[in-house]
Structure 1
Amino acid sequence: MTNQIKNPYLKLKNNILHLEDISLEFLSEKIGTPLYVYSRANIKDSWNRYYNAIKNNNAMVCYGMKANSNLAILKEFVNLGSGFDIVSGGELERVLSVGGDPKKIVFSGVGKQEWEIKNALESGIKCFNVESEAELYKISQIASALKITAPISLRVNPDVDAKTHPYISTGLKENKFGIAFKDAFDCYKIASSLPFIKIIGIDCHIGSQLTEISPFSAALEKIIPLIKNLIDNNINIKHIDIGGGLGITYKDEIVPDPKDIVDAARFKLKEANLNHLELILEPGRSLIGNSGILLTKVLYLKHSDDKNFIIVDAAMNDLIRPALYQSYHEVQQVKARTGQAREYDIVGPVCESADWLAKNRLLTVKENDLLVIESAGAYCTTMASNYNSRVKPAEVMVDGSEYYIIKNREKLSDILKFETTI
């Protein structure tokens, strides 16, 4: 093996990579490739890191399910006691279908549609994270028609630079998310006057794949004076939602423990005499990102004077993060080989130059070898498409020596059945 294995649930036994006690060669023979494979034990360990941070701390975790919304994974988090951060009516339906508690659901997103608001109100969710004044009026209108009081918080944009990729930065004033900090107090005053609106909290989210605590602390330093001003003006705040965004290790990132973030938040709230507020966190990537891998097979090797390519059966439609964010994922060989390594770009069959999964990797490979793309649990299958009329991969959960297919591989008939000819 040329690269260091960073996922503790990937083990090399007799020159073959295993996920826990299941050989990846075995899974490829049984189910085929491309294949997403998740570790149930790793999911539980990731959850326990957050649970240890929030227990006895008047805090709640709402899994940011846009990271991975497979029903089996959602059910795991339901069983572990998690709440959910949703951004669509479809995500609400997914959570409810696996027995999620609506009183633990917060609904974010800048473009909530009428049917989504109605369904959320009738389901009895914990809170809407309102992202504009126009949305606030819309929720009040729908809640009044239904005669159901809508619990809301305002997502306030603190204009804090999370120092992350611009596509996953959400807390700057040029981002589409949230209500501008300078407008937040007036918007709360409007909310307090609207019928069937109940203010219960304040929310902020500054970005994703954060590797430092300082952006969280900077956001709190902006938000806390606003909270005190609201309380002084008889606007009751019961919770503060500091969002998610904690990163994972893709390459060599050193990421804080969730407890560090909770402790830092509690310190600042206590300092401001606001320690009575419930603390809500919305982690997504850090709960699931390093619990999944993408297994893919080498189709062809292509060598030239300028560049060497490994062409695999996975593509940008299966894992778009490298094409979209220029992101890095570790690549491992399932079967260790000896011999002279070459530098390769790993690319897929899609008819796009952007269709690459990794660049400039030293590997010793042959056709039909299996490769593992690591850290593929978050923002991979949820962002998959049928581009080039390619079917989406199957998904499997490994639990020790057992495995469970949690999503069947699509068939071509599946992606044609909703279309008609004239």
Structure 2
Amino acid sequence: MSLTISNEQLQAAATQYGTPLYVYHAEKITAQHQQLQKAFEGVYTRFFYACKALTNISVLKHIQSIGCNIDCSSINEVYLALKAGFNPEQILYTSNGIAFEEIIAAVEAGVSVNIDSLSNLEKFGKAYGSRYPVGIRLRPNIMAGGNLKISTGHNGSKFGIPLEQLDDILSLKNQYQLRINCLHVHTGSEIKDVDVFIKVADIFFDLVPHFQDLQVLDMGGGFKVPYQSNEKGTDIPLLAKKVGEVLNKFETTYGKKFQVWFEPGKYLVSECGYLITSVNVIKETPSVLFAGINSGFNHLIRPMFYEAYHHIRNISNPNGPIKNYAVTGNICETDNFAWDRPINEIRENDLLVIDNAGAYGFEMGSNYNSRFLPAQVLYKEGQMRLIRKRDTMEDILKNQIELN
């Protein structure tokens, strides 16, 4: 079975459902999950899909069906996971600067909870004491990730409890008899160097003696996904080998078997996604050849927000002569998808496909300029199935109250 969707199939989907259109390849998600399982075979690990990347309920149901667990960043994501069929023991909730009421709701749902502030850790202790196990998210002061916007472990990051506050953590643990069963660190996204994860393991190694209830060493996610043809992703087999060695070291030293958790998001869904757009206008100026499409950062903000690269293809004219284009959106802001990009000759009404659009595409979308969010389609077992309708004007107005 092909793990890509052909130009002809994408064109047919655009004809049937219109553009802009998100299409996701279910079997590609399955294949990515299987790669992780194969690489880590024999290594005591669990994988939780970081669903902030893409939360469409049908996608979540597919991920649940292939045996993956799920990582949630909000209580609403927890509720979506439960609705998609995940059992509470399959759900990890890692909070970040939220009201304690959200943690209460997560406990009531029976899911695993990680806490990232001393304030909420103390509130948790007062509310639950030793009655409910809890994990803590630490800030390791490690700079990692593709750029500062997606680096979360450095010493200026808002995420996690700084390691320098270990004494405060231990004081709260002892005061409230907290059962801290998980230590969690997530250093960032687009991590290619597997040694970043081993640095995290070294930090855990020194912390183990302080936490007698510890069972889980959570190394977060952030596996590198190749966006350009000359890029390489995280070497997952090498990571698995090194993690296995680390776990053996922990067991030999402490006489206890720990489980390692990872939360891949982009790794599972990025490459499964395609954003199909139509070309509205070709605008040739003395210095730039613009191809203006019927989308913008209201549908895919990564190129503008993160300066992220996405491969762009002209599936209407795949054999046309190569020209250099600025591919721009139709939003009343600067929204360049690409600049000086070589693409087969683009004509008005051609279909352009933006690849690697499965993660943080639709999920970070908006109705800016009162434009509609696109439809979403899941390609599974050779069939295209609509999993979210395109917005209508009713969707724009549905929560507004018109005063007389």
From 103, 114, 121, the counterpart of 1:129? 114
From 246, 249, 265, the counterpart of 1:271? 249
Give the distance between the partners of 2:349 and 2:360, measured in 1 at CA.
27
Q: Structure 1 residue 29 and structure 2 residue 15: aligned? A: yes
1:14-93 correspondence to structure 2 within 5 Å: 17-18=7-8, 23-93=9-79
Deviation at 1:417? 1.2
Give the distance between the partners of 2:393 and 2:34, measured in 1 at CA.
40
1:235-314 correspondence to structure 2 within 5 Å: 235-251=212-228, 252-272=230-250, 273=252, 276-314=257-295
Give the distance between the partners of 1:260 and 1:393, measured in 2 at CA.
39
* Cα deviation code 1:135-190 (max 9, x no counterpart): 1022234447xxx9332111111111114211110111110001111212430341
Structure 1 residues 255, 421: CA separation in 2 closer, same or farther (over 3 Å shift)?
A: same
Structure 1 residues 187, 365: CA separation in 2 closer, same or farther (over 3 Å shift)?
A: same
Q: Is the 8 A contact 1:162 1:215 kept in 2?
A: yes
Give the distance between the partners of 1:167 and 1:60, measured in 2 at CA.
27
Structure 1 residues 121, 337: CA separation in 2 closer, same or farther (over 3 Å shift)?
A: closer
Q: Is the 8 A contact 1:299 1:311 kept in 2?
A: yes
Identical-residue share of aligned pairs (%): 29
The TM-score with structure 2 as length reference comes to: 0.94
Cross-structure match for 2:347 = 366
* Cα deviation code 1:299-330 (max 9, x no counterpart): 11000111111000111100000110111000
Q: Structure 1 residue 158 and structure 2 residue 143: aligned? A: no
Tell me the C-alpha RMSD between the 2 structures.
Answer: 1.8
* Cα deviation code 1:352-410 (max 9, x no counterpart): 01x12122112201111001100001011110011000110111011243111111111
Give the distance between the partners of 1:154 and 1:186, measured in 2 at CA.
12
Q: Is the 8 A contact 1:117 1:142 kept in 2?
A: no
Deviation at 1:271? 2.2
Aligned partner letter, 2:285: S
The TM-score with structure 1 as length reference comes to: 0.90
Q: Is the 8 A contact 2:375 2:390 kept in 1?
A: yes
Deviation at 1:118? 2.1
Structure 1 residues 29, 372: CA separation in 2 closer, same or farther (over 3 Å shift)?
A: same
Structure 1 residues 79, 401: CA separation in 2 closer, same or farther (over 3 Å shift)?
A: closer
Give the distance between the partners of 1:408 and 1:65, measured in 2 at CA.
20
Give the distance between the partners of 1:242 and 1:60, measured in 2 at CA.
11
Give the distance between the partners of 1:185 and 1:408, measured in 2 at CA.
51
Q: Structure 1 residue 206 and structure 2 residue 187: aligned? A: yes
Give the distance between the partners of 1:163 and 1:77, measured in 2 at CA.
25
Q: Is the 8 A contact 1:230 1:236 kept in 2?
A: no
Q: Which moved more, 1:248-257 or 1:58-67?
A: 248-257
Aligned partner letter, 2:227: Y
- Local SS of the residue matching 1:150: coil
Give the distance between the partners of 2:62 and 2:3, measured in 1 at CA.
20
Q: Is the 8 A contact 2:317 2:350 kept in 1?
A: no
Give the distance between the partners of 2:294 and 2:203, measured in 1 at CA.
48
Q: Which moved more, 1:412-421 or 1:336-345?
A: 336-345
Give the distance between the partners of 2:107 and 2:363, measured in 1 at CA.
25
Deviation at 1:268? 2.0
Structure 1 residues 191, 415: CA separation in 2 closer, same or farther (over 3 Å shift)?
A: farther
Aligned partner letter, 1:85: D
Cross-structure match for 1:117 = 103
Structure 1 residues 325, 45: CA separation in 2 closer, same or farther (over 3 Å shift)?
A: same
Cross-structure match for 1:14 = none
Q: Is the 8 A contact 1:40 1:399 kept in 2?
A: yes
From 390, 393, 397, the counterpart of 1:416? 397
Give the distance between the partners of 1:185 and 1:287, measured in 2 at CA.
37
Q: Structure 1 residue 394 and structure 2 residue 375: aligned? A: yes
Deviation at 1:109? 2.6
Cross-structure match for 1:138 = 123
Give the distance between the partners of 1:8 and 1:398, measured in 2 at CA.
10
Cross-structure match for 2:164 = 182
Give the distance between the partners of 2:352 and 2:173, measured in 1 at CA.
53
List gaps (5 residues or longer) in structure 2. none
Structure 1 residues 306, 106: CA separation in 2 closer, same or farther (over 3 Å shift)?
A: same
Deviation at 1:256? 2.6
* Cα deviation code 1:81-129 (max 9, x no counterpart): 111111111101100011111112121132232332222111111x211
